[in-house]
Structure 1
């Protein structure tokens, strides 16, 4: 009679515990664009009148200091109101 042979030992794979990894950090920090200055200057008028007749014809007269198209050459008495 044959001698009984013991079966080979069985191995059981034990799963490793889950270890969360920190998120990947980019190698280069993102650049932040600073706000760009406006290209228009508030002192540049958006209208031009060569004389008071042209301002009146456009319906813009009288022009006050700071208004588009105001010019000191149109304000004869220098009171801030042109083409009165």
Structure 2
């Protein structure tokens, strides 16, 4: 296995990081409007780590994919794995 194929560009890494931060703004903003969302620093750290990890894995796996069908399949599998891990944390 070629290790260079397991990396993505800095721009893609920053894109994954930006999307992770934007997604984490949802519970952060909700904490100001309702008492039902009560996240601590550890909650944000775990959620951010999971989102970044699975986003990075998605970018690595789809980087070489030229087929739209393969891209959709990889996206679905990565999203299903994210939901599986997330559901075990609750």
- TM-score per shorter chain, which class? under 0.3
Q: Which of the two has higher C-alpha Rg?
A: 1
Greater fraction helix: 2
Query: So what's the TM-score if we normalise by structure 1?
Result: 0.22
Structure with the greater relative contact order (CA < 8 A, sep ≥ 6): 1 or 2? 2
Question: Which protein has the bigger strand share?
Answer: 1
